[in-house]
Amino acid sequence: MKTRGEAELTMLKDITIRSRELTPFEKLVLELVCDGRSNASIAEKTSHSEKVVENTVSRSAQVFGIKSDSKTNLRVLLSLAYRFHYGDTAFNKITEPTRTKAA
């Protein structure tokens, strides 16, 4: 019997790009999805409408072969698939706080 972590890893290995590579705009939108941004926030940041962002997220899910249903959080699976395929840059954004020397 697989542990939960092993099952999740197996699931991620099954989520691969199936039809084509993502466009630069799709990659940008997915980076922002991975950062936890809403469609409205992504639309504002990219100067596109929420509908364009929503369609981009849906198209990107199709590229990875991810289907939405009542038991699936599409954005979470899409974020995991994106990071698994393109690498996880989230930790690159974290900076260590500067420390002041005690007098």
Asked whether residue 66 is assigned to any structural domain, the reply reads: yes
CA angle 20, 24, 29 (to 5 degrees): 100
Domain of residue 73 covers: 9-87
Asked whether residue 21 is assigned to any structural domain, the reply reads: yes
Asked whether residue 63 is assigned to any structural domain, the reply reads: yes
pLDDT at 97: 61
What CATH number corresponds to the domain at position 53?
1.10.10.10
pLDDT at 65: 86
Other residues' Cβ atoms within 10 Å of the Cβ of residue 36: 10
If you average pLDDT over every residue of the chain, what do you get? 80
Spatial separation of the C-alpha atoms in residues 101 and 92, rounded to whole Å: 25
pLDDT at 66: 87
pLDDT at 70: 84
For the chain, how many structural domains are there in total? 1
- C-alpha dihedral over 16, 85, 13, 93, to 10 degrees? -140
Q: What is the pLDDT of residues 11-61, one digit of tens each?
A: 545 555 666 788 999 999 999 999 999 999 999 999 999 999 999 999 999
